[in-house]
Amino acid sequence: MDIKEIVAEGNDPVWVIGRLKEKSIRVPAWATLDKAYDPKKHPVMDKKLYPDKVTKKGVQKVTRITLSLPKLAAKRMSGLMFGLPVKRIYKTQSDEDKRAANIIEAIFAKNRIDSVNRERGKQLFASCEVATIWYSQEQDTTYAGEPSRLKLRCKSYCPMNGDAIYPLYDEYDDMIALSIEYQRREGDRDVTYFDTYTATEHIRWRTEGSSPEEEIRESIELAKIPGVYLYRPEPIWEGEAENVYEAEWTLSRNGNYIRKNARPNWVIFSDEKVKTGQEPTNDNEGRNVLRYPKDAKAGYVTWQQAIESIKYHVEEIKRNFFTNLQLPDMSMDNMKSTPMSGEARKMLFIDAQMKAEDESGPWLEFFDREVNVVKAFAKKMYPSLAGAIESLQVEVLITVYQIRDETERINNLTNATNGKPIASQRTAIQRLGWVDDVDAEIAQLESESTVSLFDEPTV
């Protein structure tokens, strides 16, 4: 059925929303993923599965140790891909093309797109879904010095924030509708909203009681859905959660033995009956109080525990976690405990860079669609530049994070050219990134280096 027939006015809202929720793709439910992502929801924290000890003197809490490795994996993968800002390379041929490029880049800059990308990265790698809706507000503003009566903004949605995303595709796998279901607190009650975006309409249903009611129906003049959507079939930790649970069980069980046996034990060697004093039974006590006869011998006995086997077990699980996911273990303890040269440390990132390159494909398609959405808005905001904006070619480049030693790189290039300059002053200033206007900076440097004939020499 055509999307216009589904969302046509007069149709039953319950039926319409049901059709829009028909999801042809399979994405893991956040309720399941959150149990691995949030360390507070790991099995070792479940008091029914792992209860505290109930004694005559009260409840004695057991040791519960969690490892937040799945959450760390999502953060680290996002950092690898978006720690260095995503670049948009514009191919301009005329002054109008340059104005159009400056406007598009200014729109992304004012929406703090670099921070948005890092956040969207964590959301996708953890919850497997993310959608961003672009919308305009009637507000006078300027982009790259060009005045506009509309202000362009964006908002991202993902299951981590309690949102439900429903993309609807046709038989050619083209998206024909993008719907977002979310809740808002209004006064003392929760209200559910269901927004649907098509190429021609934006419709919002509001559900406060038992049935939804249409609240907004407005036309969209972009001739495309004003949003972008990206999903993945599994989270970034890819089935490693069970191994993390095993390490947590090992550490927690061992913690119980440590609390019970790690305190000093004062042992009495005597053939006579020994009357002890008030010996504390709580695991948190620091010493034992005992009484012993005159000829008895007493001394401390150290608890012998196989620490190395437990340490090896947990360390192997952590090592396999990062190895299987192709992520570098960049913790401070790991980096400082392994002495190596700067060049060797660069090699540590090869596996992670290959992983990021594999992940970058869907992201590049996502960013290309987003650029097209912004261009569609920009054409409405700046009608006089509509032709230049439409024909503007934009290439999106993801630079995977890596350790770089610019000094070593420059020395190698200089040696290769036999000491000749390898970059102009303009290029150096531009790459440094300290100033916005390179031409003005060069002019200022030239004026400072020029000595006037009328300048009096200083004594």
DSSP string, 348-415: TTHHHHHHHHHHHHHHHHHHHHHHHHHHHHHHHH-GGGHHHHHH-EEEEE--------HHHHHHHHHH
β-bridge mates for residue 206, sequence order: 193, 213
Q: φ, ψ for residue 310 (rounded to 5)? A: -70, -45
The identity of residue 239, as a single letter, is G
pTM for the complete prediction?
0.80
Check the CA dihedral 116-122-125-129 and report its sign: negative
Q: φ, ψ for residue 235 (rounded to 5)? A: -70, 170
Between CA 186 and CA 290 the distance in angstroms is 65
Contact at 8 Å (CB) between 179 and 20? Answer: yes
pLDDT at res. 453: 47
Contact at 8 Å (CB) between 354 and 400? Answer: no
Among candidate residues 267, 247, 264, 266, the one with its CA nearest the CA of residue 255: 247
CB-neighbour burial class of residue 5 (10 A; exposed 0-12, middle 13-18, buried 19+) = exposed
pLDDT at res. 274: 60
Alpha-helical runs (H) found in 295-349: 307-324, 332-337, 342-347
pLDDT tens per residue across all 459 residues of the chain = 689 999 999 899 999 999 999 988 999 999 999 999 999 999 999 999 999 988 888 888 999 999 999 999 999 999 999 998 999 999 988 999 999 999 999 999 999 999 999 999 999 999 999 999 999 999 999 999 999 999 999 999 999 999 999 999 988 889 999 999 999 988 888 899 999 999 999 999 999 878 899 999 999 999 899 999 999 999 999 889 999 999 999 999 888 887 776 666 666 666 666 665 555 555 555 555 555 565 666 665 565 666 788 888 888 898 889 888 888 776 666 666 666 666 666 666 788 888 888 899 999 999 999 999 999 999 999 999 999 999 999 999 998 877 665 666 677 777 777 777 777 877 777 766 677 677 788 888 888 776 554 555 554
- Tokens 């042992």 locate to 267
What is the 3-state composition of the chain as percent helix, strand, coil, each rounded to the nearest 5? 45, 20, 35
pLDDT at res. 391: 93
**Residue 207 CA to its chain's centroid (Å):** 31
3-class DSSP string for 168-180:
EECCCCCEEEEEE
Contact at 8 Å (CB) between 429 and 435? Answer: yes
pLDDT at res. 299: 63
